[in-house]
Chains A and B, each alone.
Chain A
Amino acid sequence: MSAPVRTAPYRSQLPPARDGFGQLLHAEWTKLRTVPRWGLVLLSAMVVTVLVSVLAVSGSSVGGGGPAAPVGPDGNAVKDTMQLVHERLPGDGSITARVSGLKGLKAPRPDGGRAGGPPAVNTGKTPGWTKAGIIIKANTKSGSSYAAVVLTHGHGVRMQWDYTHDLAGSATRPDEDRWLRLVRKGDVLTGYESADGKDWRRVGSVRPAGLTGTVEAGVFTAAAPNTKVERAFGGTSIAEGPGRATAHFDELAVNGGEGGRRQATIGRPAARDTVPAVDLASGSFELRGSGDVGPLQTDTDITRQTLSGAMIGLIPLSALGVLFITAEYRRGMIRTTLTASPRRGRLLAAKAIVLGGVTFVAGLIGAVLSFQLGEPIMRRNGHKPPRWPELSLTDGPVLRAVIGTAALLAVISVLALALGALLRHTAAAITLIVVMLVLPQILISGLPLGAAHALMRATPLAGFAIQDAIARYDHAAAVCLPEEGCYPQGPWAGFAVLCVYAAAALGLAIWRLRRRDV
């Protein structure tokens, strides 16, 4: 045996290969860009989104007249109806009272029981946000600034101010006695609660902007509306009517007050309530009230309505997502692709990034156009401030909904890509994604509320929650109806569900692609 011949190892004469992730992205972008049909699909997705959005809003109208809602300190419509016993408080001071026996009463008929009007809604259950407590309010006009410490029927002691704000105190039951105190010092209001009137616990300190100069201090009772879910003709409907409640107050003392207590009805309650003839000055009386104090939850989300075309626009985009991978299998192109880029996980990641980026841009164009065209149409059809505040594309919630719609479409197309890679079958993958996203939209209108909410939480449809652009307040009793575009979870929670679906499908697809021959 001769000694091994030492030769220089082989070195390719070619320049170093370009196999970075950037090149992979560029290759996928070239594939996507150079198929004319796919460009048409993207364009059609944008056109469909805008057209359907405009169609959806063009027939909109504002239902029901009714008295105009009062306007709160921030310029938005609010609910401000209550029964109040009050006296003037010119400067610093405090109000203390003990509240007990808070309970719901038989509901009055809406609009004061007009003949032929809607019937009263009785559920046999007192709504959780029925409340009684102490309040310092700028004046007795409906919609004026206030701060209050209240005992609620189902949510314990709360400190609430200026309609939209709410702080939790102790979890007192409505059948227990509770001492409440509100101290005014300068423009700071501090709420306290106590079980015995000696040992006080602070609930919170707030600074409502409108409470300056002489204000009114007193006690009030308000009742959250009664709502009842009913089924008829295969659909779910909600009956809502004013509630009515009563509470007993004693030990009422206003430090720094001018005296001369009066009773006042704030707003337009459905029932005229009076205090049984007792001396208000004694500070011990029963106060009945109907109507509620809090934000007015609007049922029409203008932003969501103007973006509704995305529900249809997702169909061509998911077809594109599926084709972006299944077309490679159909034409045998996948073998060339994997020869050029053997790392399969990276390949699918590159595809997802390119596809997601392109569909995001297409979705963003569609969403911005839909909003800009649809919003003026909604305004013309009667959706005007203060009930529906002015909106602009740069408002936080609107921006979240518009960009969220684009992100939603991008994530859906990535989910479609992952399903295409998993199933390797164009027809099955497209059908699966369309059935997953579109069918729940059809079924929720015919299913009972509980089942509809379950579908909206658990299916990828949950992602559409990101289109929510109206504030929903926990302390404003409202029923979340799917027909009104209400999603039971928050915008981000819903979007996260869709992202989990997409991530899981993509992970599974990468795992499958690695283990299987092409």
Chain B
Amino acid sequence: MRGTPPMQPSAAVRATAAMQALGTLRAVRAEWTKLRTVPGSWWLLVAVVALTVAAGGASAAAVTTEHCHPTPAACQEDTVKLSLTGVWVGQAAVAILGALAMSSEYGTGTIRAALTAVPWRGRLLTAKAVVVSALALTTGALGVLGSLLVGRLVLPGNGFTAEAGYPPLSLADGPTLRAAVGSMLYLGLIALLALGVAALVRDTAGAITVVLALLYVFPVLVSLVSSEKWRERLQEWGPASAGMAVQATRNLHSLPIGPWPGLGVLALYAAAALLAGGLTFRLRDA
């Protein structure tokens, strides 16, 4: 500030706000540099897309109309959801991406350098959140579009033809577009959830285990528990099973939770994790 004339208060406030925005932008850039320069991150991003498309394609290829009785239409197969099955696999790589952004700094001790450069902890966490969610959204978009494309190519060969009541997958179709955008947002939220948990746990193994348990334990419990009421509850409460409701395009009335409210449940989990992580990040020594 040396050498500049004294400013009017309002201008000073404006300048501070602008500087803060600039600071956040710089923090975001720093985080992007950190992620970009670790080769492992690129492998993870490739893994998100590849796993999503491969698992989705394999699922679509495995299901045929052979056992549909009496006509293929009777199966009520949700072809969009089926093609997007790969998100179940891809989310694991996204969770690693989100968790590592925070926990690897603790593992290597660079968190101290990072906090020396950006002492405002909220800003640091925000910058990390922006970078990992943007990456998750981008790779998620690629994975989802790839899966839908594979589904569009594979499904008609398995009997899911337009004549049988299964129009080819297309983003021009409202529910399909919702499922695609929703799956993308789903992956973004998973990255934020993992980041929040990692800020809370500060340890890679612990964070990954907690996030994977949150994602996968609820659906497994659903298959184990025999009480119908509890099955429905577990599907409503589980971050993954509720969030995946956004992929449904058929028989929406029979879902335990609607598509957008389901994604909302996951958003609540992510927000709670980020809030808890952010608070402990602020209150604890690094």
Contacts and interface: CB of A to CB of B under 8 A. Distances in A.
B225 A59 contact: yes
Contacts of A427: 96, 99-100, 103, 204-205, 208
Nearest to B93: A431
A443 B77 CA distance: 15
Given A52-B224, A56-B226, A229-B67, A438 B208 contact: no
A315 B209 CA distance: 7
A504 interface: no
A236 B212 contact: no
B69 A312 contact: no
25 contacts: A228-B69, A231-B77, A232-B74, A233-B75, A236-B67, A312-B221, A319-B205, A319-B209, A426-B205, A427-B96, A427-B100, A427-B103, A430-B212, A431-B93, A431-B95, A431-B96, A435-B92, A438-B217, A441-B219, A442-B219, A445-B223, A446-B82, A447-B62, A447-B63, A448-B64
Contact of A234 (B62, B78, B220, B225): B78
A322 B205 contact: yes
Interface residues of A, number: 46
A134 interface: no
Interface residues of B, number: 47
Contacts of A441: 219-220, 223
A253 interface: no
- Main SS class of interface, B: helix
Contacts of A315: 209, 212-213, 216-217
B85 interface: yes
B69 A230 contact: yes
A443 B78 contact: no
Contacts of A372: none
A206 interface: no
B67 A426 contact: no
Contact of A426 (B62, B81, B204, B220): B204
B107 interface: yes
A176 interface: no
Interface string A312-336: 1001100100110010001000000
B59 interface: yes
Contacts of B100: 427
- Main SS class of interface, A: helix
A299 to B, nearest CB: 12
A105 interface: no
Nearest to A483: B223
A61 interface: yes
Contact of B208 (A232, A308, A430, A448): A430
Interface of B: 40, 59, 62-64, 66-69, 74-78, 81-82, 85, 88-89, 92-93, 95-96, 99-100, 103, 107, 204-206, 208-209, 212-213, 216-217, 219-221, 223-227, 230, 251, 254
Interface string A49-70: 0001001101111000000000
Contacts of B217: 312, 315, 438
Contact of A61 (B85, B95, B226): B226
Contacts of A323: 205
Given A61-B227, A326-B205, 7 more contacts: A52-B224, A59-B230, A312-B217, A315-B216, A439-B89, A443-B85, A483-B223
A442 B69 contact: no
A484 to B, nearest CB: 11
B95 A233 contact: no
Interface in A285-299: none
B67 A234 contact: no
Contact of A435 (B75, B89, B220, B226): B89
Contact of B225 (A55, A231, A316): A55
Contact of A233 (B85, B103, B251): B251
Contact of A451 (B62, B204, B216): B62
Contacts of A434: 92, 209, 212, 216
A458 interface: no
B254 A233 contact: yes
A52 B204 contact: no
A268 interface: no
A431 B206 CA distance: 12
Nearest to A41: B209
B216 A52 contact: no
A231 B67 contact: yes
Contacts of A448: 62-64, 66-67
Nearest to B70: A230
Contacts of B77: 231, 234
Those 10 A-B pairs whose CB atoms lie nearest each other, nearest first: A59-B227, A451-B62, A56-B224, A319-B209, A438-B216, A442-B219, A231-B67, A434-B212, A427-B96, A60-B226
A22 B129 CA distance: 49
Contacts of B40: 425
Given A311-B224, A427-B100, A428-B96, A442 B88 contact: yes
B100 to A, nearest CB: 6
A329 B132 CA distance: 26
Given A234-B81, A439-B88, A430 B209 contact: yes
A426 B198 CA distance: 14
B212 A446 contact: no
B75 A232 contact: yes
Interface string A464-501: 00000000000000000001000000000000000000
B63 A451 contact: yes
Nearest to B230: A59
Nearest to A308: B224
Contact of B85 (A425, A431, A446): A446
A178 to B, nearest CB: 34
Contacts of A330: 107
Contacts of B225: 55-56, 59
Given A59-B227, A430-B205, A431-B208, A442 B220 contact: yes
Contacts of B66: 448
A31 to B, nearest CB: 16
Contacts of B226: 56, 59-61
B104 to A, nearest CB: 8
Contact of B209 (A230, A316, A446, A483): A316
